[in-house]
Amino acid sequence: MIREQEVNSNSVNKLGRIELITGCMFAGKTEEFIRRLRRNDYAKKRVVAFKPSIDNRYSEDLIASHSGAVLKSYPVSSVEQLIEIYKKENAISPIDIIGIDEVQFMDKKIVPFIELLANNGVIVIVTGLDKDFRSEPFQNVDKLLVLAEFVDKLTAICHKCGNFANRTQRIINGEPANWDSPIVLVGETDSYEARCRNCYKLPKK
Q: Output the pLDDT for position 161.
A: 97
Mean pLDDT by 10 residues, the chain (205 residues): 59 80 95 93 93 72 63 90 95 95 95 96 96 95 97 97 96 87 64 95 89
Concerning whether 102 is annotated as a catalytic residue, the answer is: yes
Whether 134 contacts 82, CB under 8 Å: no
Fold (CATH) for 15-155: Rossmann fold (3.40.50)
Domains of the chain: which residue ranges? 15-155
Q: Output the pLDDT for position 13.
A: 60
Query: Helix %, strand %, coil % for the chain, to 5?
Result: 25, 25, 45
Nearest to 145, CA basis, from 116, 171, 114: 114
Choosing from 19, 32, 102, 193, the catalytic residue is 102
Q: Output the pLDDT for position 56.
A: 59
Is 126 exposed, middle or buried (CB count within 10 Å of its CB: 0-12, 13-18, 19+)?
buried
Q: Output the pLDDT for position 153.
A: 97
Put simply, whether the predicted model's pTM sits higher than 0.95 gets the answer no
